[in-house]
Chain A
Amino acid sequence: MNFREYKIGARMFGFALGGSMCITLFLPSFDFRSAVSTETALDKQLTAGWETGWNVYDPLMLGHNKPLKVLVKTDPKSGQPLAEATYAYVYNVGTPLPNGIDHPDNLGESVEKLSETKGQIGQKTANGTVYLIKHEGNVPYIENATATMGWTPDMVMKGASDSDISHAGAGKTLFVREGCWWCHTLLPEQTQDWQVFGAPPMLGDFNGESPTAFGSDRKAPDLLHVGSRNSSREWMMLHFFNPRLVQPHSIMPRFDYLWGKVDANGQKIDYAKWRTEYDEYHAGKRIDPPDVPMYAKNSEIRDLIDFMLSLK
């Protein structure tokens, strides 16, 4: 039998789909590549590290293999007080580096150049690396403080007290894992959100971030600047354990399971008892709700609260 072969149709199809992919993928890639990192972008990628979605370095998404963001008040090497306290991003041996260090061309031209020449980010260091954000004029860049000043992770960690250490990078992983972004956005809208949720992000604010987790479905306040609105750890702690403790009408789920097995004193947390007492309180049989246990320093909830407070 004589088949119709659809030769013209097949070519037209290739042409149409190819044309569409050219316009929607190839052309925008030039715009994306020309985006130059802002200081926010540098801070975000140094804080969160390589990746906060699923990846082979953290296959169970427990927030492992993440950098620490440390407030440094004295020069870790000489011990002299610094003129101005500064944030250092500590990458221990084995912690995968953020995209901008591995692929500096993603930083955007001017930032890339400064980070490579003055910041020496290309230098290899054997015992982990400490990064800083510096400025030249108004261009921010990344500095490899281990290469330029000899600050090692050990020195920085030795001089820091626990309240100066932020686990925000691990916290971002939990933000993704726990699906906070199904209710909260990280993207104030350009048209009307300025007053309530703060400034919308700029073109260069995302270089190196993955996943961006904008969220498409907003059932709750935008969180991009939540740390500026509310910086109370105590409030966050109560709110995560049971949002109805501080906001009776909230539909946010309880995240009490992020406390883990034990509290700050190593005591086992008795969730069943807490829930019964809370139900009694809810039914009006108790005047006060039960106390929320203080979380342990290495608990998941600590990471998450650190991340919330880092969203300035």
Chain B
Amino acid sequence: MLKYLFAKNEDIPAGSAAVYWGFSAIVWFVIGTGLGSFNAAKLAFPDFVTGSEFFAFGHMRQVHVHAVIFGWISMAFGMAMMYITPALGNTRLWSEKLGVWNAFLWNVGLSLGLTLLWAGLTSGREYSDFIWPIDLFIAVFMALPLAINVWMTILTRRTQGIYTTNWFFAAATFMVIIVFLTGNLPEFFHLTGLTEAYLTWWFAHNVLGLWITPVAAAIAYYTIPKVTGNPLYSHRIGHLHFWSVVVFYSTPAAHHLMSAPLPEWLKSFASVEGVLILVPAIAFVSNILLTMQGKWNMFVENLEIRFTVTGVLLAIPLNMQGGFQQTRAINWYIHGTGWIVAHAHLALLGFSTFLEAAAVYLGLQSLMKRKLYSLTLGNMHFWLLLIGFSIYWISMTIAGLIQGAGKIYEVPYIDVVIAEHPYMIARWIGGTLVFISNIIWLYNMWMTARVGTIVPVGRMPHEMAYER
């Protein structure tokens, strides 16, 4: 792949960039969940590996979070954009070479940022933990080239209108740059105090709400109609989804700081807007599930559909939790507990990851023109991921409720720690299953690239039967 960095744009086969992004994403997925599993082990058994700061929980936690968000999820997004945007515009990617460079710079920037975080060099601001030179690098050399490629591909399209997926791609690649530059203002210009605290959560909220959630949803808008052959149920509902994301999802940042001394009007406003996130959520879920009409057999038979629909179904509990847990009536109980960690993994490991995994499965098979090496391994990946995630989510939700009760009844803290111990072990087991499933996936995709059955010209991989 690296040989294309210095090739002429015309000489690079279409799809190379997407394949590079896709495999990088899977590798980051393995690394990121491996680190997650290691962290979970440390919270269950604090003396698991000691004696070096490089294996201390406080040095490793943020490396896990950033490896999965900016490595796995964002690179899977990049892969999806590299092949879906041109496909929907009936054209080629604007610049295959820029795409390859972009993936290369993404890997370099992320490796550098994660190494620094690992050593403890951090801004001390959750989710914008990267130090500001890295933030600038991300905005300029990672996010901007991606935006340019997506935008130019859409502008040079050979269709009249723009399909739903591409509205989201275009808007999200633009918004993530704004979010990066604005959310890190405290670091660029040394803003302090409550301004710093608030902007930290403004960044965290919007990077999830204007980048991860809409792009993941946009991917489902492509995979489901593409693989089932059904047209999208309703473009109107798609409109509703898009506009309510921009209006409602971009405003509730303050609901992350309900117990901090922020202005009361801001907290109330955020809390109302947070409930309104149910609008895009319901629009999205209903639109996708209605598109499935008449093709529900594929939920069982087809791996990509199974991944996507599972992710969409997980969006239902996710948004119900999200809408209500941030109201004052509930937030005081679960704020800062494992409940939130469970919720974060429902969003990123449940909802989002399942959609991206489908896009990467579908994209790599179509671009490499090879059928998936083994359905059995694919099924193992799916079930281990789902079961591992469920164990994680259930155990952390229970741990969170225990912590919440301990908090309001003022139980001595150490008793809460003792009560959580079994759930910490369960979470570690669940997360380790996820990690193992990803190694299987990496192997399966690697074998697909090497020996997968060749898909004849003019056919789609999902039209062919699985052979193994």
Contacts and interface: CB of A to CB of B under 8 A. Distances in A.
B193 A249 contact: no
B61 A182 contact: yes
15 contacts: A2-B160, A24-B202, A32-B195, A51-B190, A53-B123, A59-B121, A178-B53, A182-B61, A211-B124, A215-B336, A219-B338, A220-B417, A244-B47, A249-B417, A251-B46
Interface in A50-67: 50-54, 59-61
Given A23-B269, A179-B62, A179-B120, A253 B408 contact: no
Would you call the interface of chain B mostly helix, strand, loop, or mixed? helix
B137 interface: no
A203 B198 CA distance: 13
Interface in A1-50: 1-4, 6, 12-13, 16-17, 19-21, 23-25, 27-29, 31-32, 35, 41, 45, 50
Contacts of B171: 13
Interface of A: 1-4, 6, 12-13, 16-17, 19-21, 23-25, 27-29, 31-32, 35, 41, 45, 50-54, 59-61, 99, 106, 176-183, 185, 187, 189-193, 195-196, 200-203, 205-221, 243-244, 247, 249-257, 271, 275
B57 A211 contact: no
Contact of A28 (B161, B256, B266): B266
A28 B413 contact: no
Contacts of B190: 50-51, 99, 210
B95 interface: no
A112 to B, nearest CB: 14
Interface of B: 42-44, 46-47, 50-53, 56-59, 61-62, 120-126, 131-132, 158, 160-162, 171, 175, 178, 182, 186-187, 190-198, 200, 202, 243, 246-247, 250-251, 253-254, 256-257, 259-263, 266, 269, 332, 335-338, 340-341, 403, 407-408, 410, 413-414, 417-418, 421, 424
Contact of B246 (A20, A180, A212): A20
Contacts of A28: 198, 254, 262-263, 266
Nearest to B159: A1
A6 B182 CA distance: 26
B395 to A, nearest CB: 14
Contacts of B254: 24, 28
A286 B195 CA distance: 53
Q: Which of B126, B256, B337 has the most CB of A within 10 A?
A: B126
B192 A209 contact: yes
Given A32-B195, A60-B121, A216 B126 contact: yes
A240 B269 CA distance: 42
A257 B51 contact: yes
Would you call the interface of chain A mostly helix, strand, loop, or mixed? loop
A51 B124 CA distance: 10
Nearest to B56: A253
A3 B122 CA distance: 47
Given A61-B122, A179-B62, A257-B51, 8 more contacts: A23-B251, A25-B202, A179-B57, A182-B62, A187-B259, A192-B408, A193-B407, A214-B260
A311 to B, nearest CB: 16
Contacts of A189: 259, 332, 335-336, 407
Contacts of B266: 27-28, 31
Q: Which of A182, A185, A187 has the most CB of B within 10 A?
A: A182
Nearest to A176: B124
A180 B125 CA distance: 13
